[in-house]
Amino acid sequence: ALISLRQLLDHAAENGYGVPAFNVNNLEQMRAIMEAADATDSPVIVQASAGARSYAGAPFLRHLILAAIEEWPHIPVVMHQDHGTSPAVCQRSIQLGFSSVMMDGSLKEDGKTPADYDYNVQVTQTAVAMAHACGVSVEGELGVLGSLETGEAGEEDGVGAEGKLSHDQLLTDPEEAAQFVKATNVDALAIACGTSHGAYKFSRPPTGDILAIDRIKEIHKRIPTTHLVMHGSSSVPQEWLKVINEFGGEIPETYGVPVEQIAEGIKHGVRKVNIDTDLRLASTGAVRRHLAQNTSNFDPRKFLKASTDAMFDICKARYEAFGCAGQA
Ligand code: G3H
Ligand code: 13P
Ligand code: NA
Ligand code: ZN
């Protein structure tokens, strides 16, 4: 069944768990996410980016999610729009039937230039007024995402600030978060706490304080009923990097956010955990390996099945690690 983000995350808060929000672009990702949710009895958040809409086309994307709800009617599903760059983008998603939208007013409409606080409040208020009138939830974002190690915003095209960021920009201010929530009435708030988008988050194996856990605690204390969202939460599985590179890929050494650190964040108010890169890496590794080992195969269903299976394993592991299993 389709439910709103507010409904799901209120339940997650009451029961102390977090929910992975997986990006979806194609059939294989959708099936992996749902089959893993079914296997673990987990509720689901699927999110579509602007890039996903231009890849699959809005009608296909919409029906892909609706088809999942039809095939697995017993699983609660939030249909979320990731990184909306304007109220107009959010409006279009509401028309399409999404039950949740992200108004990312931390960046200007180009999705690159950091925006000031007043701009952010203004566009987010507009999106909330529209969405709440339709029973749709809203995620806002305050602060600019970037690695505390490198000061880089990350690699995703179209999402993320450009250039080096100062330490101050890299952490959401708790006082400002309280003001922002009061002014906008968002249901969920994406915060900057040391994560960044894409595969290149950390250049060395993460030990200890990759995330600003104290900052997460402080923010949660100020806005206890607003659900915290952590973007850039891929763990960059080293085993998949190895497979990719073993079968012809060339991906340099890189590290993501350890699952245990995400679980620590969940203890302190993080409820929605955005993951895209991990499924991309698993899918790429599985396809490279399958084609290298089955050189006479030309049935795409065979390598796409390998992709689905690899993504299934990641999804299942995240549902379990975030305490989401058994909560559907
Ligand atoms: O936040 C970014 C997500 O990973 C989506 O990436 O815009 O390439 O679809 P995309
Ligand atoms: P990753 O690149 O770490 O998977 O983050 C995805 C994300 O935050 C989508 O909004
Ligand atoms: Na989002
Ligand atoms: Zn994001």
**What pLDDT band is residue 157 in, cutting at 50, 70 and 90?**
very low
Smallest CA separation from ligand 1 atom 1, residue: 159
Measure 318 CA to ligand 2 centroid, in angstroms. Answer: 14
Q: Specify the pLDDT at position 318.
A: 99
Q: Which DSSP category does 177 fall into?
A: H
Q: Specify the pLDDT at position 159.
A: 61
Would you tell me how many other CB atoms lie within 10 Å of the CB of residue 58? 15
Interatomic CA distance for residues 181 and 223, integer angstroms? 8
Smallest CA separation from ligand 1 atom 7, residue: 51
Please pick, among 38, 41, 82, 157, the residue that the annotation labels catalytic: 82
15: in domain: yes
Domains identified in the chain, total number: 1
Interatomic CA distance for residues 260 and 73, integer angstroms? 31
Is any atom of ligand 2 closer than 6 Å to the C-beta of 274?
yes
176: in domain: yes
Tell me the CATH number at 26. 3.20.20.70
Interatomic CA distance for residues 96 and 73, integer angstroms? 20
Domain enclosing residue 173, as ranges: 5-321
How far the first Cα of the chain sits from its last, in Å, is 11
Q: Specify the pLDDT at position 167.
A: 75
Would you tell me how many other CB atoms lie within 10 Å of the CB of residue 73? 9
Q: Specify the pLDDT at position 174.
A: 98
Residue in 219, 125, 230 with CA at minimum distance from that of residue 175: 219
327: in domain: no
3-class SS of residue 127: helix
Is any atom of ligand 2 closer than 6 Å to the C-beta of 198?
yes
Alpha-helical (H) ranges within the chain are 5-15, 27-40, 50-56, 58-71, 87-96, 117-133, 174-184, 213-222, 238-246, 259-267, 277-293, 300-321
Measure 218 CA to ligand 3 centroid, in angstroms. Answer: 22
Instruction: Give CA angle at 37 (55, 205), nearest 5°.
Output: 75
326: in domain: no
- 151 pLDDT above the threshold of 90: no
Residue in 6, 16, 75 with CA at minimum distance from that of residue 41: 75
User: Between β-strands 227-230 and 188-191, what pairing exists: parallel, antiparallel or unpaired?
Assistant: parallel
192: in domain: yes
pLDDT digits (tens, 9 = 90+) for 166-201: 777 789 999 999 999 999 999 999 999 999 999 999
Measure 39 CA to ligand 4 centroid, in angstroms. Answer: 26
148 and 167 Cβ atoms separated by less than 8 Å: yes
Tell me if ipTM is over 0.90: yes
**What pLDDT band is residue 230 in, cutting at 50, 70 and 90?**
very high
Would you tell me how many other CB atoms lie within 10 Å of the CB of residue 72? 17
**What pLDDT band is residue 160 in, cutting at 50, 70 and 90?**
low
Would you tell me how many other CB atoms lie within 10 Å of the CB of residue 270? 27
24: in domain: yes
65: in domain: yes
Is any atom of ligand 2 closer than 6 Å to the C-beta of 139?
no
247 and 281 Cβ atoms separated by less than 8 Å: no
Interatomic CA distance for residues 120 and 114, integer angstroms? 10
Ligand 2 pocket test, pick from 274, 279, 284 with the greatest ligand atom count within 8 Å of Cβ, gives 274
CB-based contacts of 82, cutoff 8 Å, min separation 6:
21, 23, 47, 48, 49, 52, 102, 274
158: in domain: yes
Interatomic CA distance for residues 141 and 283, integer angstroms? 29
- 205 pLDDT above the threshold of 80: yes
Environment class of 49 (CB within 10 Å of its CB; exposed 0-12, middle 13-18, buried 19+): buried
268 and 216 Cβ atoms separated by less than 8 Å: yes
Q: Specify the pLDDT at position 155.
A: 57
pLDDT digits (tens, 9 = 90+) for 65-113: 999 999 999 999 999 999 999 999 999 999 999 999 999 999 999 998 9
pLDDT digits (tens, 9 = 90+) for 244-279: 999 999 999 999 999 999 999 999 999 999 999 999
Interatomic CA distance for residues 32 and 72, integer angstroms? 13
